[in-house]
């Protein structure tokens, strides 16, 4: 088994046939990791492209998950119904939360000490709340007060709690990545068009997005980071989907919402302080430049890191917070 900080050699990826899963499998294969791709649907995926092991199974099937995990160093759990409209409320909630519990319990029982799971910007519930709430403040961060009114958001909030419990009870280190809208870079321009046509629609996520290539890079960073505990980490591209300056957008669509800092240009309205501090992760791709350049142009400059930013992470007793090491 790998210790935190070692690169895993063998990783199980659940939800491997999905939007995020295809990018993650591709990245892990490029890193020469032995990948087992686990999904209810295993056709036409990156698994075929990279000739890796595929397992067609339901992730709520404990025996199938346990068998797939045999010999693995780490698990990346992405399988979920990713929107409240894609099933009944009961299906969405039970599938997603059962899947996460099953995967983390089986991984811990198999002696695996590293898991990365997909949470969502929706874990706060604000975005999908029919009450048309706005976030309590900008930038949106991991401590944003929750106001959950749909089964998908609830499932992601529960998944984060499951991760914390799994660490406390079983000692498995879990990083829960709060993903915003994720699509391959090439597919993102149509979302820019949509967002520009009706900017008010995405104000509650701060018009946030992340290229799937960057999501895969964040997963790879999370698999190798020498940080014990259970951590929720927000992610975003360095900019928003819109070219309009972020301050102007907030003046227009969220004028009463407190801003905790000023935003330069069309800079992201999701705080990525924790991703920087814990994962040393900086997004590389921008839909506005369609190339690997955000890091080079300096638009993803680190924000100041405060110990409070990490307050909600669950760490082992007697472990010095990583930012103080
Ligand atoms: N893509 C986004 O914009 C986005 C944003 C926020 C969070 N997320 C989260 O990221 C993860 C991946 O999302 P995605 O966009 O790739 O979704 P997707 O729908 O493209 O892929 C999900 C995959 O999981 C599989 N799956 C679902 N339930 C399963 C089960 N019980 N057993 C086996 N396989 C199962 C599906 O077959 C599918 O291939 C999800 O957890 C989602 O909630 C995605």
85-109 per-position pLDDT tens digit:
999 999 999 999 999 999 999 999 9
Residue of the nearest CA to atom 26 in ligand 1?
79
Q: What residue segments make up the domains of the chain, in order of their start?
A: 10-313
Segment 137-185, tens digit of pLDDT: 999 999 999 999 999 999 999 999 999 999 999 999 999 999 999 999 9
Ligand 1 contact, 82 CB (< 6 A): yes
Q: Which atom of ligand 1 has the smallest separation from the CA of 60? A: 31
Q: Which atom of ligand 1 is nearest to the CA of 82?
A: 43
Kindly report whether the peptide bond that precedes residue 274 is cis, defined as omega within 30 degrees of 0. no
CB of residue 79 inside a 6 A radius of ligand 1 = yes
Relative to beta strand 291-292, strand 285-286 is antiparallel
160 lines ligand 1 (CB under 6 A): no
155 near 92, Cβ under 8 Å? yes
The CA distance from 209 to 18, in Å, is: 17
> What value does the mean pLDDT take over residues 292-320?
43
Query: What is the pTM assigned to this prediction?
Result: 0.92
Q: Which residue's CA is minimally distant from atom 18 of ligand 1?
A: 18
Q: Are the C-beta atoms of 168 and 218 separated by less than 8 Å?
A: no
Q: What is the pLDDT of residue 226?
A: 83
Work out the average pLDDT over 277-288. 97
Closest CA to ligand 1's atom 2: 182
- Residues 42-63 have a mean pLDDT of 83
CA-nearest residue, atom 1 of ligand 1? 182
Does residue 150's CB lie within 6 angstroms of at least one atom of ligand 1?
A: no
pLDDT confidence tier of residue 227, bands split at 50, 70 and 90: confident
From the CA of 95, give the closest atom in ligand 1: 31
Query: What is the pLDDT, as a whole number, of residue 84?
Result: 95
- Stretch 291-300: mean pLDDT: 43
Place 43 in a pLDDT band, splitting at 50, 70 and 90: confident
Residue 298 pLDDT level (bands cut at 50, 70, 90): very low
Q: Is the CB of 16 under 6 A from ligand 1?
A: no
Contact between 233 and 275 under an 8 Å Cβ cutoff? The reply is yes
- What mean pLDDT, rounded, does the chain reach? 89
Q: Is 99 in the pocket of ligand 1 (CB under 6 A)?
A: yes
- The secondary structure element, H or E, covering residue 249 is helix 246-253
For the residues 269-290, what does the mean pLDDT come to? 96
CATH architecture for residues 10-313: 3-Layer(aba) Sandwich (3.40)
Q: How many residues does the chain have?
A: 325
Our answer on whether the CB atom of 135 is closer than 6 Å to any ligand 1 atom is: no
Tokens 């992730």: give the residue.
59
């Amino acid at each position: 088994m790998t210790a935190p900080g070692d690169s895993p050699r063998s990783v199980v990826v659940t939800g491997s046939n999905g939007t995020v899963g295809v990018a993650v499998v591709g990245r892990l294969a490029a890193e020469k990791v032995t990948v087992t791709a686990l999904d209810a649907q295993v056709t036409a995926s990156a698994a075929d492209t990279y000739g890796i092991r595929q397992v067609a199974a339901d992730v709520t099937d404990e025996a199938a998950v346990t068998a797939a995990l045999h010999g693995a160093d780490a698990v990346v759990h992405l399988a979920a119904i990713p929107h409240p409209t894609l099933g009944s409320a009961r299906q969405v909630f039970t599938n997603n939360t059962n899947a996460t519990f099953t995967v983390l319990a089986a991984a811990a029982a198999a002696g695996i000490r590293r898991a990365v799971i997909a949470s969502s910007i929706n874990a706060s519930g604000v975005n999908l709340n029919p009450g048309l709430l706005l976030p309590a403040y900008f930038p949106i961060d991991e401590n944003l007060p929750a106001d959950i009114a749909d089964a998908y958001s609830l499932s992601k909030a529960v998944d984060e709690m499951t991760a914390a419990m799994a660490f406390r009870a079983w000692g498995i280190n879990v990083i829960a990545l709060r993903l915003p809208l994720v699509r391959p870079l090439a597919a993102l321009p149509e979302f820019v068009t949509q967002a520009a046509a009706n900017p008010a629609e995405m104000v509650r996520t701060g018009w946030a997005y992340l290229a799937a290539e960057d999501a895969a890079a964040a997963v790879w960073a999370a698999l190798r980071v020498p940080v014990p505990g259970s951590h929720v980490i927000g992610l975003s591209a360095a900019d928003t989907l819109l070219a309009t300056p972020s301050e102007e957008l907030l003046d227009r669509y969220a004028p009463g919402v407190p801003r905790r800092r000023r935003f330069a240009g069309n800079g992201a309205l999701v705080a990525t302080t924790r991703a920087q501090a814990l994962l040393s992760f900086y997004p590389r791709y921008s839909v506005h430049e369609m190339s690997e350049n955000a890091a080079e142009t300096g638009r993803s400059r680190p924000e100041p890191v405060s110990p409070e930013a990490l307050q909600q992470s669950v760490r082992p007793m007697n472990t010095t917070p990583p930012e103080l090491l």
